[in-house]
Amino acid sequence: MHPPFPKRPEVKTWRERWAALRNVPPLLGMVWETSPWLTGATVALRLVKSLLPVAILWVGKLIIDRVVGALQQNSTVFDSIAPLVGLEFGLAIVNDVLARAIALADSLLGDRFANVVSVRLMAHASQLDLAHFEDPEFYDKLERARRQTTSRIGLLSALASFCQDVVTLASLAAGLVWFAPGLMLLLLLAVVPSFLGETHFAGLAYSLLYRWTPERRELDYVRMLGASNQSAKEVKIFGLGPYLAERYRKLADKFYEENRRLASRRALVGAGLNIIGTAGYYTAYVVLLYRTLQGTLSVGDLTFLAGSFQRSRSIIEGLFSAVSNITDQALYLTDLYEFFQMQPRITTGARAVPAPRPIRTGFEFRNVSFRYPGSGREVLRNVSFRLEPRERIALIGENGAGKTTIVKLMARLYDPDEGTVLLDGVDLREYDIDSLRREVGVIFQDYMRYDMLVRENIGLGRIEELADLDRIRMAANKSLADSVVSQLPKGYEQMLGRRFDAGTDLSAGQWQKVALARAYMREAQLIILDEPTASLDARAEYEVFLRFADLTRGKMAVLISHRFSTVRMADRILVLENGAILEEGTHEQLVARAGRYAELFELQAAGYR
């Protein structure tokens, strides 16, 4: 049984924020693996660009000093100044070119990184257990992880910019220390208060977003319901539009109000702290003016130092803000890494063997009990039965009796809490999972309707044969989906669904035939149909089951249905009630027994009289 997902506390403390920086090295490793060439290019470009600000300021100082000197000598010769002007112009051009090159490299690297992480996210999600996908806490974690595939692209740029600004600051600080060491203390006084304030509010912002993850998922869901082809008919018929809009508005307004209060406090406190920074800058500026008037600094020195101080102040503020931003985003990375650290419980063992082909003695449930993770109710209680080769059994019972759970255990989507499920006398846990599931063809009552081509909708049943159109046609013939395909303008190349251009939607019965074809595509030894005719009319149901009876001859089959006209074709019927097998036998035997099955059969038959 899967334990409930741990609820991570809201992160606010400095210790937790600094601890989150441990997420940065793995991120850098992922970035490097994404594209070593692009990563190296952006590092080299930023290194060169980081030295340009001090170079431009120094050239500007030389120009001003020469201009002042020329004015003092009443000279109008431009020759000594022209080369410096040309150099500064060239540095400005190089700075612009480098900025554009860095933006291009960052953009390409970010897109590449997002694609790689998205693929990895999907691949990892496909390895997790079905139990994960049936837990709301998992969806909160998955939602946060999905957002990181794009949101954390900004962290890459932030890290690179941080390193670039550190180099720039070091070069500017060297000039400041050379001329006026005391200015560095004023710099720190100017920026530290603002940094502390921003860091505090960044932590509060993360806490807000973390707390609101379930509500944000609900917002997305309500927005989808209000504008989706799947819900459009009921929204219109039941007049749900105003209700959904009002529900969305109330939830969105509640989030907006909490976010507004936080943003207002952040802006007010930030403005107050910024006054301290501004006072520090102008104090330094007054000191420089005084020293210039005293003659200890030249006008060029004044220009260089004032520019260096102002630039250094901006860079330090940016660095402090970047530290806050990086630690903030590193906290979000925790969500991504925690998702990647999640491991499935249902796995293939080191000594696993392939599933038998052919199956010789069949499946056996031996004293199987099961409850879904997080639920105290037993869905199955001490269930025992056999499914022999070439036998067809039907499972009937009220909703929640455990019918679908039995087939999930047979396909090893879950493992039993107690007892054992055997195949040819061997515990299912001893078999290779992929090999086992290749021998199972199943269509659940909540089958998927893929917004893809017809041939893809069918071919996904055996992905390695997706390009085999003959096999796809054969599967469509078995499920009677070929009659549906013949009516489509582009046949097997027709796009299904309304999500994409030129897509065609099908009726529920037509979709079900396509889904049946997907199950037949596997050519599995065990075929499971969970309410396979729920969307078919009586004639179509009769045709499908005539074909089903023919195609499952010589194979094992499990049929779940509420229609007794359907289950009569089974060799054996299991009647489930409250998670246990109440009755077992053929249709005739169960009717003659006058038990629960006979009662349900008579109730359904009375509806047709």
The percentage of the chain sitting over the pLDDT mark of 70, rounded to a whole number, equals: 77
Residues 397 and 412 in one domain: yes
For residues 515 and 356, what is the distance between their CA atoms, to the nearest angstrom? 26
What's the CATH number where 164 sits? 1.20.1560.10
The closest alpha carbon to 476, from 438, 524, 510, belongs to 510
| CA 265 to each of CA 192, 202, 273: distance values in angstroms, whole numbers, following the listed order | 19, 12, 12
Q: What is the pLDDT of residue 270?
A: 66
Are the C-beta atoms of 242 and 250 separated by less than 8 Å? Answer: no
- Per the domain annotation, does 3 fall within a domain? no
Which stretch of DSSP H or E encloses residue 17? helix 14-19
* Sequential DSSP letters for 273-332: HHHHHHHHHHHHHHHHHHHHHTTSS-HHHHHHHHHHHHHHHHHHHHHHHHHHHHHHHHHH
Residues whose CB is less than 8 angstroms from the CB of residue 53 and which lie 6 or more positions away in sequence, other chains included: 168, 171, 172, 311
Q: Which two tokens stand for residue 102?
A: 């860095």
- Per the domain annotation, does 292 fall within a domain? yes
pLDDT digits (tens, 9 = 90+) for 581-603: 999 999 899 989 988 888 888 87
Are the C-beta atoms of 258 and 208 separated by less than 8 Å? Answer: yes
Q: Which residue has the higher pLDDT, 3 or 307?
A: 307
The DSSP symbol for 11 reads: P
For residues 423 and 357, what is the distance between their CA atoms, to the nearest angstrom? 11
Which stretch of DSSP H or E encloses residue 427? strand 426-427
Strands 363-370, 418-423: pairing is antiparallel
Residues 367 and 501 in one domain: no
Residues 95 and 162 in one domain: yes
Does the pLDDT at position 565 exceed 80?
no
Displacement of CA 107 from its chain's centroid (Å): 21
Last residue of a domain, one of 275, 310, 341: 341
User: Quick one: CA torsion of 330, 336, 338, 339, rounded to 10 degrees?
Assistant: 180
Please say whether the dihedral angle defined by the alpha carbons of residues 442, 448, 449 and 455, taken in this order, is positive or negative. negative
Reduced to 3 states (helix: H, G, I; strand: E, B; else coil), residue 60 is helix
Q: Which of 250-264, 393-407, 526-540 has the lowest mean pLDDT?
A: 526-540
Structural domain boundaries enclosing 418: 355-439+526-609
Residues 427 and 295 in one domain: no
What's the CATH number where 516 sits? 3.40.50.300
The closest alpha carbon to 183, from 289, 52, 57, 294, belongs to 289
Q: What angle do CA 126, 132, 138 make, to 5 degrees?
A: 105
Residues 195 and 277 in one domain: yes
**Rounded to two decimals, what is the model's pTM?**
0.65
- Per the domain annotation, does 365 fall within a domain? yes
- Taking the CB of residue 591, how many other CB atoms lie within 10 A of it? 16
Are the C-beta atoms of 540 and 519 separated by less than 8 Å? Answer: no
Residues 117 and 163 in one domain: yes
Residues 35 and 142 in one domain: yes
Please name the residue that has the structure tokens 């009921």: 234
Residues 503 and 541 in one domain: no
Residues 284 and 306 in one domain: yes
- Per the domain annotation, does 8 fall within a domain? no
- Per the domain annotation, does 189 fall within a domain? yes
How many distinct structural domains can be found in the chain? Answer: 3
For residues 237 and 231, what is the distance between their CA atoms, to the nearest angstrom? 10
Last residue of a domain, one of 523, 541, 568: 523
For residues 604 and 609, what is the distance between their CA atoms, to the nearest angstrom? 10
Residues 161 and 252 in one domain: yes
pLDDT digits (tens, 9 = 90+) for 418-434: 999 999 999 999 999 98
Residues 412 and 274 in one domain: no
pLDDT digits (tens, 9 = 90+) for 487-546: 999 999 999 987 777 888 888 778 888 888 888 887 788 988 887 655 566 666 666 666
- Per the domain annotation, does 347 fall within a domain? no
- Per the domain annotation, does 9 fall within a domain? no
- Per the domain annotation, does 470 fall within a domain? yes
Residues 135 and 112 in one domain: yes
The closest alpha carbon to 5, from 135, 147, 121, 146, belongs to 135
Are the C-beta atoms of 436 and 356 separated by less than 8 Å? Answer: no
Last residue of a domain, one of 523, 543, 575: 523
Q: Which of 54-68, 70-84, 248-262, 498-512 has the lowest mean pLDDT?
A: 70-84
Rounded to a whole number, what is the distance in angstroms from the first to the last CA of the chain?
Answer: 47
Kindly report the average pLDDT of the chain as a whole number: 79
Does the pLDDT at position 380 exceed 90?
yes
The closest alpha carbon to 102, from 41, 169, 52, belongs to 41
Position 170, amino acid: A
The CB-based long-range contact list for 503-507 (8 Å cut-off, 24+ gap) reads 503/451, 505/229, 506/449, 507/535
Q: What is the pLDDT of residue 581?
A: 93
